[in-house]
């Protein structure tokens, strides 16, 4: 048990002590325990390292860290002090790694990343092209520290920003610094954070709240999860600074999505430690400032990521959005002034306070300052968690950082902003990634999911996927969203099933525009984006589904004609399994009789070689039947 | 009083007098019983002074509250975007076929529950299936089914 840190002096002494200890720590094995690596078995790897280090009698410290970013190589292990970056270290590799790398100071080439273009081996993370183009501010500590150890966080300068804000700066100065940085809300809408804080400060009230929105519901995005799991103290520190700047604020909430049990656990530990060390609670750092944070767990509703809904959910009521204004900074949680920001926004704050707003503003574009974390996933070679300066072009993000398309496929589009965003086609790949440019293309920044799709993905089906998501998650309060998304989904279902009609595209466009204009909250206002943007850029695909009853990407299996390709091995499984007897055996092989085929997809599933293809319906076929 | 009601009473008593606790109480009750038994919800209603209708309104809104018992092994197929792009639709189909359950169903012997989830945050390893809170990459859905059936105790060998 450590004594509460009751002054800035005490914190600085502790920091110097811990930093010195960190510098002389010798060998440290950092096992990535991000969500991705855990799924690949990092927990076993961690235990194996702890055991093996003892067994072989090596002087080394084994610590878990947050997401190290390169999820493609999971499980990842970094070995200090040489900063060797090892990919795909499984539990059975550990004995060898400890023996050769830790004990004898050697290297294991098979675990290093090899640059596929040049063939060079990258020993450290810094040598990999994946990391070379990144600038890490919000994610600065991920992979560097043990998220469950507050001393590790203090040893790299944690809570120094807080002590500086509390002792050297007035709340107005903190706000001025945040305004100077140009930081905009990282939840997606991009509202300037400093302006929000200032208006929250200006509102009169003796009880205000700070809320951290960790309800990252966007499928395909996990930045906030990684931050809460990998650097919870940075988020907490950002919130305390915010509470100080807003004034009259003694209570804060972190609302975490239920699907992130690990984030809940690690935030819980971090909050406990922060209280123990005196960064939360009464009289923080002896300045007379009181603040504490409660953790709230969601229960699986996407709409709770919308700020007014989130507050109603915290109140324990059936959540649905309300009309704004009044804005949350005036009437938020329990009708009291509330300042709500995203996880990533808060994680940026300590760095801004410590290094100054100008330092942060050097990155990015004129209107979108700083850096943004993205999750680059889908059909790219290097999937993972990245942070790049705003204004980097999509091409550079996909090719330089993402390493290009998987299996050297053809890049088709990138989907940003989750179900609220849109698809940006290859023709716009030179677009800089910033708030305005993405909105102009009918997409949005969103919280930062970036899903790359290649030519094998059907854009109609993709749009249908997103819409079915938003339709399911619509809270049902306002009719445009409740009924409109349902109607749109019906049309899309029809098109994907090969029953599209002339005029469907126009109906979708009209409905989409209407829903955007008349919905109550952000969910409805942005729900048609995936459909509208795919119609805008991939209209031909919609037309092919409707007119030719075919899917150009050959992804929709409920329309078109099933054809057995030349790589058939004559196993006969398709004939055996076809419930309609549509697979017919001929002397030279198998053949699918399209008049009998109901396109159920059974043969596609059973075929061991994947030689059955779905072709757009042939012209002569129409004549025959 | 039955044991369910007693246990529910204990859970509620931890939260009495605090504001906005309904969801926490329901989560704890679900943590205890695996679902929301009617008896327990009645206790919550009485103790917190919230009508049953209101509780039902809250609980039915969220996808993670259940009113019927669930299987011992809960298999959740991620249907997030990244998983979708990498073929989670097919994984779901195979699991449905292999376990003989439709998404959202529980087997009659309460061994398995199959459901979908909208993203578990390990998109880089898509497609992902979560077996009892433990996410894993699916390379071969048939193998997942086989492992599940063999072990029957959580799908982990």
Whether chain A has a CB inside 8 Å of the CB on B13: the answer is no
Per-residue confidence (pLDDT) for residue A162, from 0 to 100:
92
Whole-number Å distance between alpha carbons of A201 and A197: 6
List, in sequence order, every beta strand (DSSP E) within A218-351: 249-256, 281-284, 289-297, 338-342
List, in sequence order, every beta strand (DSSP E) within chain B: 73-78, 112-117, 128-131, 134-137
Whether chain A has a CB inside 8 Å of the CB on B156: the answer is no
Per-residue confidence (pLDDT) for residue A275, from 0 to 100:
92
Beta bridge partners of A124: A84
Q: Is the pLDDT of residue A620 over 60?
A: no
Give the CA dihedral A132, A133, A138, A142, nearest 10 degrees: -30
In sequence order, what are the residues at sequence separation of 6 or more whose Cβ sits closer than 8 angstroms to the Cβ of residue A566?
A611
**What average pLDDT does range A442-451 have in this prediction?**
84
Query: DSSP states of A13-63 as a string?
Result: HHHHHHHHHHHT---EEEEE-SHHHHHTTHHHHHHHHHHHHHHTT---EEE
For residues A531 and A463, the answer to whether their CB atoms sit within 8 Å is yes
Whether chain A has a CB inside 8 Å of the CB on B7: the answer is no
Whether chain B has a CB inside 8 Å of the CB on A298: the answer is yes
| Digit-coded pLDDT (tens) for A542-574 | 988 888 888 888 778 777 788 888 888 888 888
Residue with tokens 């049902």: A476
Per-residue confidence (pLDDT) for residue A176, from 0 to 100:
93
| Digit-coded pLDDT (tens) for A365-389 | 888 899 999 988 888 888 888 999 9
Whether chain B has a CB inside 8 Å of the CB on A316: the answer is yes
Q: Is the pLDDT of residue A584 over 70?
A: yes
Whole-number Å distance between alpha carbons of A7 and A11: 7
Say what percent of chain A tops pLDDT 90. Answer: 35
CA distances from residue A623 to A286, A465, A562, B106 in whole angstroms, order as listed: 86, 33, 17, 47
| Digit-coded pLDDT (tens) for A8-41 | 889 999 999 999 988 888 889 999 998 888 888 8
Torsions phi, psi for A491 (to 5 deg) = -65, -45
Residue environment code for A95-127, b if the CB has 16+ CB neighbours within 10 A, otherwise e: eebbeebbbeeebeeebbbeeeeeeeebbebeb
Distance from CA of B107 to the nearest CA of A (A): 23
Beta-carbon separation of A35 and B120 below 8 A: yes
Give the CA dihedral B133, B137, B142, B145, nearest 10 degrees: -10
Whether chain B has a CB inside 8 Å of the CB on A332: the answer is no
| Residue B106 DSSP one-character state | B
Cα A186 to chain centroid distance, Å, stands at: 11
In sequence order, what are the residues at sequence separation of 6 or more whose Cβ sits closer than 8 angstroms to the Cβ of residue A623?
none
**What average pLDDT does range A327-334 have in this prediction?**
85
Beta-carbon separation of B93 and A605 below 8 A: yes
Per-residue confidence (pLDDT) for residue B157, from 0 to 100:
42
Residues of A in contact with B62 (CB under 8 A): 298-301
Q: Which two tokens stand for residue A362?
A: 């050097």
List, in sequence order, every beta strand (DSSP E) within A403-523: 411-416, 422-425, 449-454
Q: Which two tokens stand for residue A60?
A: 């080394």
- A624 pLDDT band, cuts 50/70/90, is very low
Which residue, among B92, B120, B122, would best test binding to A if mutated, counting the most A CBs under 10 Å from its CB?
B122
For residues A1 and A33, the answer to whether their CB atoms sit within 8 Å is no
Q: Which two tokens stand for residue A286?
A: 């002896």
- A126 pLDDT band, cuts 50/70/90, is confident
* Radius of gyration (C-alpha) of chain B in whole angstroms: 18
Whether chain B has a CB inside 8 Å of the CB on A384: the answer is yes
Beta-carbon separation of B81 and A297 below 8 A: no
Residues of A in contact with B79 (CB under 8 A): 219
Pairing of strands A61-65, A28-32: parallel
User: Considering only alpha carbons, which residue of chain A is nearest residue B60?
Assistant: A318
Whole-number Å distance between alpha carbons of B127 and A622: 37
Interface of A with B in 66-85 (CB under 8 A): 71-72, 74
**What average pLDDT does range A453-479 have in this prediction?**
88
Which pTM was predicted? 0.88
- B156 pLDDT band, cuts 50/70/90, is very low
Whether chain B has a CB inside 8 Å of the CB on A465: the answer is yes
CA distances from residue B110 to B36, B40, B70, B101, B113 in whole angstroms, order as listed: 16, 20, 6, 12, 7
Crossing angle of helices A485-496 and A504-518, rounded to 10°: 160
> Where is pLDDT greater, at A46 or A417?
A46
For residues A220 and A205, the answer to whether their CB atoms sit within 8 Å is no
Residues of A in contact with B65 (CB under 8 A): 299-300
Which residue, among B124, B128, B140, would best test binding to A if mutated, counting the most A CBs under 10 Å from its CB?
B124
| Digit-coded pLDDT (tens) for A43-78 | 999 999 999 888 888 888 899 998 888 888 888 999
For residues A78 and A84, the answer to whether their CB atoms sit within 8 Å is yes
- A118 pLDDT band, cuts 50/70/90, is confident
10 Å Cβ neighbour count for A521? 22
10 Å Cβ neighbour count for A294? 13
Q: Is the pLDDT of residue A188 over 90?
A: no
Beta-carbon separation of A415 and B19 below 8 A: no
What's chain A's average pLDDT?
88
Per-residue confidence (pLDDT) for residue B152, from 0 to 100:
61
Give the helix/strand (H/E) hosting A590. strand A589-592
Give the helix/strand (H/E) hosting A162. helix A160-168
**What average pLDDT does range B50-77 have in this prediction?**
88
What angle (nearest 5°) sits at the alpha carbon of residue A451, between those of residues A319 and A497? 80
Whole-number Å distance between alpha carbons of A422 and A490: 20
Beta-carbon separation of A222 and B64 below 8 A: no
Whole-number Å distance between alpha carbons of A484 and A518: 10
Residue with tokens 């992804």: A555
User: Considering only alpha carbons, which residue of chain B is nearest residue A221?
Assistant: B121
Q: Is the pLDDT of residue A623 over 70?
A: no
Whole-number Å distance between alpha carbons of A227 and A447: 13
Q: Is the pLDDT of residue A621 over 70?
A: no
Whether chain B has a CB inside 8 Å of the CB on A477: the answer is no
In sequence order, what are the residues at sequence separation of 6 or more whose Cβ sits closer than 8 angstroms to the Cβ of residue A588?
none
**What average pLDDT does range B98-110 have in this prediction?**
87
Whole-number Å distance between alpha carbons of A285 and A15: 14
**What average pLDDT does range A412-421 have in this prediction?**
87
| Residue A423 DSSP one-character state | E
Cis ω before A75 (30° cut-off from 0):
yes
Whether chain A has a CB inside 8 Å of the CB on B16: the answer is no
For residues A29 and A82, the answer to whether their CB atoms sit within 8 Å is no
For residues B150 and B144, the answer to whether their CB atoms sit within 8 Å is no
Which residue, among A72, A228, A377, A417, would best test binding to B if mutated, counting the most B CBs under 10 Å from its CB?
A377
Which residue, among A216, A230, A261, A299, would best test binding to B if mutated, counting the most B CBs under 10 Å from its CB?
A299
CA distances from residue A482 to A485, A488, B81 in whole angstroms, order as listed: 6, 11, 22
Beta-carbon separation of A258 and B64 below 8 A: yes
Per-residue confidence (pLDDT) for residue B79, from 0 to 100:
86
Give the helix/strand (H/E) hosting A580. none
> Where is pLDDT greater, at B86 or A396?
A396
Per-residue confidence (pLDDT) for residue A65, from 0 to 100:
92
**What average pLDDT does range A459-466 have in this prediction?**
89
Whether chain A has a CB inside 8 Å of the CB on B38: the answer is no
Residues of B in contact with A378 (CB under 8 A): 81-82, 85-86, 126
Residues of A in contact with B122 (CB under 8 A): 35-36, 38-39, 71, 222
Beta-carbon separation of A315 and B79 below 8 A: no
Whole-number Å distance between alpha carbons of B46 and A617: 62
In sequence order, what are the residues at sequence separation of 6 or more whose Cβ sits closer than 8 angstroms to the Cβ of residue A156?
A19, A22, A141, A144, A145
For residues A301 and A255, the answer to whether their CB atoms sit within 8 Å is no
Cα A385 to chain centroid distance, Å, stands at: 7
| Digit-coded pLDDT (tens) for A211-266 | 999 888 788 788 888 899 999 999 999 999 999 999 888 999 999 988 888 899 99
In sequence order, what are the residues at sequence separation of 6 or more whose Cβ sits closer than 8 angstroms to the Cβ of residue A510?
none
Distance from CA of B90 to the nearest CA of A (A): 8
Residues of A in contact with B21 (CB under 8 A): 316
Phi-psi region of A18 (alpha: psi -120 to 50; beta: other; left: phi over 0): alpha
* HSE value, Cβ hemisphere, 13 Å, CA-based, for A254: 33
Q: Is the pLDDT of residue B1 over 60?
A: no
Whether chain B has a CB inside 8 Å of the CB on A471: the answer is no
Most distant CA pair in chain A, distance: 90
**What average pLDDT does range A573-588 have in this prediction?**
88
| Residue A397 DSSP one-character state | I
- A618 pLDDT band, cuts 50/70/90, is low
User: Considering only alpha carbons, which residue of chain A is nearest residue B61?
Assistant: A318
Torsions phi, psi for B98 (to 5 deg) = -65, -40
**What average pLDDT does range A460-488 have in this prediction?**
90
Residues in chain B: 157
Q: Which two tokens stand for residue A529?
A: 């984006």
Helix (H, G, I), strand (E, B) or coil at A344: helix
Helix (H, G, I), strand (E, B) or coil at A524: helix
Q: Is the pLDDT of residue A191 over 70?
A: yes
- A2 pLDDT band, cuts 50/70/90, is low
Residues of B in contact with A302 (CB under 8 A): 118
Distance from CA of B149 to the nearest CA of A (A): 20
Nearest to B76 by CA among B108, B31, B121: B121
CA distances from residue A455 to A220, A409, A413 in whole angstroms, order as listed: 19, 7, 9
């Amino acid at each position: 048990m450590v004594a509460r840190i009751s002054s800035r002096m005490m914190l600085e002494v502790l920091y110097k002590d811990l930093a010195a200890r960190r510098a002389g720590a010798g060998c440290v094995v950092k096992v990535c325990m991000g969500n991705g690596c855990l799924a690949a078995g990092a927990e076993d790897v961690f235990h194996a390292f702890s055991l093996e280090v003892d067994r072989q009698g090596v002087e080394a410290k084994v610590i878990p860290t947050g997401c190290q970013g390169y999820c493609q190589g999971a499980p990842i292990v970094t070995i200090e002090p040489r900063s060797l970056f090892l990919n795909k270290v499984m539990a059975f590799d550990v004995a060898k790694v400890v023996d050769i790398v830790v004990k004898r100071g050697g290297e294991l080439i098979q675990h290093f990343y090899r640059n596929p273009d040049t063939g060079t081996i990258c020993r450290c993370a810094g040598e990999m092209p994946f990391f070379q183009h990144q600038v890490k501010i919000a994610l600065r500590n991920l992979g560097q520290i043990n998220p469950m150890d507050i001393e590790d966080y203090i040893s790299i300068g944690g809570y120094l920003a807080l002590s500086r804000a509390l002792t050297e700066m007035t709340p107005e100065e903190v706000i001025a610094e945040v305004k100077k940085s140009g930081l905009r809300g990282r939840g997606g809408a991009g509202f300037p954070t400093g302006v929000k804080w200032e208006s929250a400060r200006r509102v009169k009230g003796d009880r205000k709240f700070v809320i951290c929105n960790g309800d990252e519901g966007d499928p395909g995005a996990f930045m906030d999860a990684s931050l809460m799991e990998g650097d919870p103290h940075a988020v907490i520190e950002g919130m305390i600074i915010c509470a100080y700047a807003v004034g009259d604020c003694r209570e804060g909430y972190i609302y975490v999505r239920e699907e992130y049990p690990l984030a809940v656990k690690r935030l819980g530990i971090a909050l406990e430690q922060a209280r123990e060390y005196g960064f939360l609670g009464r009289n923080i750092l002896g300045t007379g400032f009181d603040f504490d944070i409660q953790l709230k767990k969601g229960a699986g509703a996407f709409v709770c990521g919308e700020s007014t809904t989130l507050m109603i959910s915290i109140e324990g009521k059936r959540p649905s959005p309300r009309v704004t204004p009044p804005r949350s900074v005036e009437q938020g949680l329990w009708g009291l002034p509330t300042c709500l920001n995203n996880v990533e926004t808060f994680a940026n704050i300590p760095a801004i306070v410590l290094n100054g707003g100008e330092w942060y503003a050097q990155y990015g574009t004129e209107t979108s300052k700083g850096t943004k974390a993205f999750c680059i996933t889908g059909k790219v070679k290097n999937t993972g968690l990245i942070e790049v300066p705003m204004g980097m072009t999509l091409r550079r993000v996909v090719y330089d950082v993402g390493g290009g398309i998987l299996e050297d496929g053809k890049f088709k589009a990138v989907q940003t902003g989750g179900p609220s965003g849109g698809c940006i086609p290859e023709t716009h790949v030179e677009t800089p990634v910033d708030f305005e440019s993405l909105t102009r293309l009918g997409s949005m920044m969103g919280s930062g999911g970036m899903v790359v799709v290649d030519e094998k993905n059907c854009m109609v089906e993709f749009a249908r996927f997103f819409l079915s998501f938003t339709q399911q998650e619509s809270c049902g309060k306002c009719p445009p969203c409740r009924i409109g998304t349902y109607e749109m989904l019906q049309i899309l279902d029809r098109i994907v099933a090969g029953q599209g009609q002339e005029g469907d595209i126009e109906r979708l466009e009209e409905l989409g525009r209407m829903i955007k204009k008349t919905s109550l909250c952000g969910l409805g206002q942005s729900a048609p984006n995936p459909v509208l943007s795919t119609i805008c850029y991939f209209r031909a695909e919609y037309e092919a589904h409707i007119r030719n009853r075919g899917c150009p990407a050959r992804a929709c299996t409920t329309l078109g004609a099933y054809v057995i390709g030349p790589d058939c091995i004559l196993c006969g499984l398709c004939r055996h399994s076809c419930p309609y007897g549509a697979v017919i055996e001929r002397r030279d092989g198998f053949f699918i009789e399209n008049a009998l085929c109901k396109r159920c997809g059974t043969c596609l599933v059973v075929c061991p070689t994947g030689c059955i293809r779905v072709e757009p319906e042939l012209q002569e076929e129409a004549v025959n039947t | 009083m039955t044991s369910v009601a007693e246990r529910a009473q204990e859970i509620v008593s931890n939260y009495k007098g605090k504001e906005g606790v309904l969801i926490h109480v329901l989560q704890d009750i679900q943590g205890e019983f695996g679902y929301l038994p009617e008896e327990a919800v009645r206790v919550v209603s009485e103790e917190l002074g919230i009508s049953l209708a209101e509780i039902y309104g809250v609980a039915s809104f969220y996808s993670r509250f259940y009113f019927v018992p669930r299987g011992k092994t809960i298999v959740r197929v991620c249907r997030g975007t990244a998983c979708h792009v990498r073929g989670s639709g097919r994984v779901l189909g195979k699991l449905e076929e292999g376990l003989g359950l439709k998404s959202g169903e529980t087997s009659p012997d309460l061994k398995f529950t199959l459901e979908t989830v909208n993203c578990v945050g390990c998109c880089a390893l898509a497609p992902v299936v979560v077996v009892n809170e433990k996410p894993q990459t699916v390379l071969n859905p048939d193998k997942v089914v086989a492992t599940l059936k063999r072990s029957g105790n959580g799908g982990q060998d």
